[in-house]
Structure 1
Amino acid sequence: MSVETAQAVESWAEFGRHLRSRRRRAGFTQLQLGRRVGYHHTLISKLEGGLREPPIGLVRRLDSVLETGGELAAIVAAPREVPPGPGRLLADPTLFAPIPGVDAPGDQDVLDPLLWPSRLPAEGLACPLHGNAGCAVPDRREVPALVNGLASPHDRFTDDAGTESELLHGLTAVLACLIREALHHVTADGVATVERLLRVVVRWAEEVNSNGRLPYGQLRLAAQYAQVAGRLRMQRGQSSIGMAWFGHGLRWADAVHDAPARATLLSDMCTLVRLDQDAGSTLVYARAIGAVDAQRRWIATLSSLYQARGHALNRDAAECRRHITMARRKFARLDQRDRLEAPWLSGAEGEMRVESAIGGALRDLAATTGDRGTARRAVDATELSRARLPPLMRATRLLLTLRLADCWACAGDPGAAVALAAPVLKEAVRSQELMITAELRGLHGRLTGKWGDLPEVREYREQLLDAGV
């Protein structure tokens, strides 16, 4: 039996012991409890004996029926210690290498109280210790004092598990709040705050590590902060710094075997190389996403979507369409664990993201092959994506509007393209976000390259000049 398998079996045994204790305390027999949660009593018996992995949907029903306050879900989600040893976490000399930037005054103490989450997960951020168990977060006013305590010697944080947990919860809530603020406007102060707190978390992880403990929660949290820092840098047009943060985050996610973080960080890295029109590297990263965990359907969906875009750049129509079909099938089969780990890939928002990626892949394929039928299918997917767009995602609406215009240009209708793009040209020109800049550049090249003499295109060019291009 491998170390990982042995740890999993021990986790099932711990869950079974707590389940038996809670069932008896509630006064249920195994038969009665099975009827209450909709499962056969023999499964309850196997779970209590540590003989079966607890299904996540059943765990939540057990917590509800037994009124445990999420205790059973927390046991399932709790990390398993990775013992230090040669080549393991504690021996990695690069894990705590210097990271970019200098500390600047933070503003986490003036975060908008209306944006403060009450529980985790929030904005797709799970608790670094307990996953999706539903942890409460501390009061917003308590967080600055906790964070400031990390600037001085803080053995109390490494010795006091309750305070450590509270701080991890609070710093995750701060990040969720900063993400919500960034939906309205990305500011230099917001970026500086994310990066300052990220350096605080990494120093904290290094201290825990030096004391001989695995800094599991700290490194999971650092990976989350690194991903947000990288995305904010992308929104400011700074691709190299963004890629550097994603690289740091990937190392931290790898160190604690955080599969969801690894998959999403690879997705962001895949986006950056795709924006450089590097089809080969796009496919390498896209396949790496799928290799993270073949059993998680949301990860397989992402992998197929990114592979579709890589094959589109490669002019491989058959493979592009095959991966689009695979992505739609996998998306339709997402289960409860998928929705818990990737809530942004479920419901209307999930459909928006999937169809956006498909529209982008079909548009790229149409642009490289000149196939107007493919371009019209890109129009359909992009229009569906825009229809599912939440109101607050203004930058995404701008991006999809430009993409839809470009789809019409690829379909041979420059008039429709200009009509869509004209109202948002000034906003697009002012934007520094890499993806918006790339969409505008592609649209501009297709309109002026093919239809530069048309009156509507000449008017479009004049609007660009007025906008400062």
Structure 2
Amino acid sequence: MSVGTAEAVAPGWAEFGRCLRFHRRRAGLTQLQLGRRVGYHHSFISRLEGGLREPPFDLVDRLDAVLGTGGRLAAAVASRSPSPEAPGPRLTAPTLFSPIPGADAPGDEASGEGPLGDEAAPAARLWPARLPAEGLACPLHGRVGCATPDRSSAADLLNDLAGLTGLSGLSGSYERIGAAGGAGGTGGAGGGAGGAEAELLHGLTAALACLIREAFAHVTDAGADTVERLLRGVVRWADAVNATGRLPFGQLRLAAQYAQVAGRLRMERGQSGVAMAWFGHGLRWTDAAQDAEARATLLSDMSTLVRLDGDAASMLGYAQAIGAVDAKRRWMTTLADLYQARAYALRHDGDACRRHIAMARRRFARLDDRDRLEAPWLSGAEGVLRLESAIGGALRDLAAATGERAVARRAIEATARSYALLPPVMHSTRLLLTLRLADSWACAGDPVAAVTLALPVVEEAVRARELMITVELRGLHDRLAGRWGDLPEVREYRERVRGVSE
């Protein structure tokens, strides 16, 4: 794309691009190799070198470290002359704030209804008293244990955000929500957020925790629509803060959290394009807010999404990018190994798959207090559940690709260990692992055991709306019908599936 298109940014980045190209070539790296080391696609590195993109906040230091420049790239950024029409620390609005997927229904902002109207409001019993909740930390203060506003107070704050769902109400709503924060806030990571602004950020995080509990227990269009409507409000709020010359770190971190949930819900509904769009926006917001933890988990979801589309090469690229976010954080490198193992399984590379499984187990055993603080879902019984589930999925994929029954038996063992740790509330995960366990038995050459496991849940699986369950069921069905279609047990299974489908 040429510099004269919408891809171009404010003048002044050409010198940075030339400096980056010089040091990359001096280091003997291709754009692809450099991109993998710093966790970005090679096309983004190409745009940086062409002066077409402003480098994200946290990327420049990583580039300096990887290329051994002695800080020359950071110096090139610091010496860039600011554009006269954009004084202060404003972010590149076209890059960060538009376009975003979807639009609110006409008249929403005039209806008097807040983003969480009576029908969409989360139940009071789900409202968390403190953050983190559902893995969501406070976007301003991290995991220090911020109290959330009570649900009734939060409803008033959220109704103020309703004005941000329509651009006509932007100025007035921001004045009510953020003026106090901009004039007398606490500064720091929140960029000056305080008072009502901090309360709204806390309330929106609590609301998202409730929506996660509801939406992933019962995948519905209403839950996804509510998440996206609130997300659009948060993005417009961030844009309004940015327009004042104050960096909207808290808003961008919150927007990235919402974007990840929105992408996951779209992915579960099989809407890959919109899911990837939300994940992509989330990545940009995490870069601007310097949130490495969120970047790693977003890349994990992107790796899953392309796997469901059957794109092993892209899955491997995203998996490697997870480890490049911060190689000193073992939980990130553990995730990177697990996703790479599955990508290599899809590429029929058994040696690489097994090597990354072994590395993931070693790194998981060495997780420290910092890892457990940043990724509590990867510690204790839940962490073992996730580890064994990922390993079981990789080994099943490898067995399906290579026909190795010994690998399938290892997949059975790993999946069974994961299944045994499932709490009763994780119903969808139980259904998914049941199908994976049945498929692993099919890959191991025992179709009767596979059918015995699958028959009790086949009706629920056929009617499920979750894409990952549908993909597991499709793989099991194709293996059983393709290899043992004449067996009485398999005929019974196929009749049951046909009856439910009709």
TM-score (norm: length of structure 2) = 0.75
Counterpart mapping for 1:186-197 below 5 A: 186-197=219-230
Structure 2: distance between partners of 1:370 and 1:219: 46
| 2:457 is aligned with 1:424 | yes
The aligned residue for residue 359 of structure 1 is: 392
- Candidates 239, 242, 246, aligned match of 1:209: 242
For structure 2, the residue ranges without an aligned partner over 5 or more in a row are: 1-76, 84-88, 106-112, 164-168, 181-193
1:184 to partner: Cα distance = 2.6
What per-residue deviation string (whole Å, max 9, x for no partner) do you get for residues 402-455 of structure 1?
000000000000000000111111111111211111111111111111111111
Report if the CA contact (8 A) 1:124-1:341 is conserved.
no
The aligned residue for residue 178 of structure 2 is: 158
Structure 2: distance between partners of 1:294 and 1:197: 34
AA partner of residue 131 (structure 2): L
Structure 1: distance between partners of 2:290 and 2:252: 10
Report if the CA contact (8 A) 1:408-1:414 is conserved.
yes
The aligned residue for residue 298 of structure 1 is: 331
Structure 2: distance between partners of 1:170 and 1:340: 22
| 2:296 is aligned with 1:263 | yes
1:311 to partner: Cα distance = 0.6
- Candidates 119, 136, 143, aligned match of 2:147: 136
1:234 to partner: Cα distance = 1.8
The aligned residue for residue 445 of structure 1 is: 478
- Candidates 181, 198, 204, aligned match of 1:171: 204
1:157 to partner: Cα distance = 2.7
| 2:342 is aligned with 1:342 | no
For structure 1, the residue ranges without an aligned partner over 5 or more in a row are: 1-81
The aligned residue for residue 44 of structure 2 is: none
Deviates more, 1:234-243 or 1:116-125: 234-243
The aligned residue for residue 107 of structure 1 is: 116
CA 1:89–1:334: 2 relative to 1, 3 Å: farther
Report if the CA contact (8 A) 1:270-1:282 is conserved.
yes
1:107 to partner: Cα distance = 3.1
What per-residue deviation string (whole Å, max 9, x for no partner) do you get for residues 146-199 of structure 1?
122231412243332211111100100000011111243122221111111000
CA RMSD of aligned residues (A): 1.8
Structure 1: distance between partners of 2:299 and 2:449: 35
- Candidates 311, 316, 341, aligned match of 1:308: 341
| 2:147 is aligned with 1:146 | no
Secondary structure at the aligned position of 1:90 is classed as coil
AA partner of residue 465 (structure 1): R
1:85 to partner: Cα distance = 7.7
The aligned residue for residue 306 of structure 2 is: 273
- Candidates 416, 419, 432, aligned match of 1:399: 432
Report if the CA contact (8 A) 2:160-2:176 is conserved.
no
1:242 to partner: Cα distance = 1.3
Secondary structure at the aligned position of 1:194 is classed as helix
Structure 2: distance between partners of 1:362 and 1:171: 39
Structure 2: distance between partners of 1:168 and 1:464: 46
Report if the CA contact (8 A) 1:426-1:464 is conserved.
yes
Report the number of matched residues: 388
The aligned residue for residue 68 of structure 1 is: none
The aligned residue for residue 75 of structure 1 is: none
- Candidates 299, 315, 322, aligned match of 1:282: 315
1:350 to partner: Cα distance = 1.1
The aligned residue for residue 137 of structure 2 is: 126
Structure 1: distance between partners of 2:405 and 2:486: 21
| 2:287 is aligned with 1:254 | yes
CA 1:131–1:108: 2 relative to 1, 3 Å: farther
1:86 to partner: Cα distance = 5.3
What per-residue deviation string (whole Å, max 9, x for no partner) do you get for residues 282-332 of structure 1?
110000011111111111111000000011011111110110011111111
Structure 2: distance between partners of 1:251 and 1:453: 52
AA partner of residue 182 (structure 1): A
Structure 1: distance between partners of 2:260 and 2:81: 28
Choose between structure 1 and 2 for higher RCO, CA contacts under 8 A separated by at least 6 residues: 2
1:276 to partner: Cα distance = 1.8
Structure 1: distance between partners of 2:400 and 2:81: 52
The aligned residue for residue 45 of structure 2 is: none
Structure 2: distance between partners of 1:263 and 1:368: 28
AA partner of residue 116 (structure 1): W
AA partner of residue 234 (structure 1): M
Structure 2: distance between partners of 1:346 and 1:310: 24
AA partner of residue 132 (structure 2): P
Structure 2: distance between partners of 1:107 and 1:148: 8
Secondary structure at the aligned position of 1:406 is classed as helix
Structure 2: distance between partners of 1:156 and 1:272: 39
The aligned residue for residue 128 of structure 2 is: 117
TM-score (norm: length of structure 1) = 0.80
Report if the CA contact (8 A) 2:242-2:248 is conserved.
yes
Report if the CA contact (8 A) 1:308-1:324 is conserved.
yes
Structure 1: distance between partners of 2:177 and 2:116: 22
Structure 2: distance between partners of 1:133 and 1:86: 36
Report if the CA contact (8 A) 1:304-1:327 is conserved.
yes
Secondary structure at the aligned position of 1:94 is classed as helix
Percent of matched pairs sharing the same residue = 69
AA partner of residue 173 (structure 1): A
Report if the CA contact (8 A) 2:219-2:466 is conserved.
no
AA partner of residue 307 (structure 1): Q
The aligned residue for residue 98 of structure 2 is: 97
Structure 2: distance between partners of 1:461 and 1:195: 38
CA 1:144–1:103: 2 relative to 1, 3 Å: farther
